[in-house]
Amino acid sequence: MSASPMLPSGILQGQTAVITGGGSGIGFGIAQELGRLGARLALAGRTPQKLEEAGQILTQLGYPVLVVPTDIRQPDQVQQLMNTVVEQWGQIDVLVNSAAGNFLVDTEKLSVNGWNAVVNTVLNGTFYCTRAAGLQMIKQKRGKILSIVASYAWTGGPRTVHSAAAKAGVLTLTRTLAVEWAAHGIRVNALCPGPTDTEGARPLWANPEDKARMLEKIPVGRFGTVQEVAQAASYLLSPFADFINGEVLVMDGGEWLGKGLNS
């Protein structure tokens, strides 16, 4: 499914956006849309080759792009990322926390290393990035932060105890900072996509039986698209949403309302 552009080109002209996990999937989709809207883009992620390829595509589209390989689990690397962006463009107007990590596992089989791998990326990494970007935004007296969460952050979900706990932390981080940082002109929100048709997700429904089982749980009967998620993200980061703060926008076709993840 293809969606027409929702916001006018150039509405974010002159703004700088840092996108973690920007080399692929939803993060890359959001970067494309923010670039179309006029933002300068700083892509961060752990895989230099992916980032470079994404950066080349965005550059060919005519968007200003800075590629900064970063392991967001390392606070020093995160700070260097933000320093590099400020040195290059003088400001950070937008942070999109899109980097994530997850795998399905029975809780009794989850190792300490497995727990730490997910929590360090999803929760700690989001905090490191949010704090580092937030300090710059506080100086500027403006900024917008958007984190990607999942509905099992509040419903729970079998075999996702590590990711659910981490995403729940991101959710409360979002709402806490929405209150704390509003006085600094900073808005903090979250976006909760349901099953989305990305290259990384497609193996989950590689055979017809798995696909049918997943679609049965989604009232609208289809998966979301990266473009839809990117446009929802761009709205929350646009001037049209300046009175939205501490909110979570769920876009999962109604999955979490009914049979959901716990069926």
Q: Which residues are catalytic?
A: 152
The 3-state DSSP composition of the chain as helix, strand, coil percent (nearest 5) reads 50, 15, 35
Whole-angstrom Cα distance, residue 195 to residue 229? Answer: 11
How far CA 83 is from CA of 35, 86, 162, 177, 243, in Å, comes to 21, 5, 31, 22, 29
CA contacts within 13 A on the Cβ side of 157: 22
For the four alpha carbons of 223, 227, 233 and 235, in that order, the dihedral sign comes to: negative
Q: Return the SS3 of 152.
A: helix
Separation of CA 8 from chain center: 22
Residue matched to tokens 């506080």: 138
Give φ, ψ of 103 to 5 degrees.
-155, 150
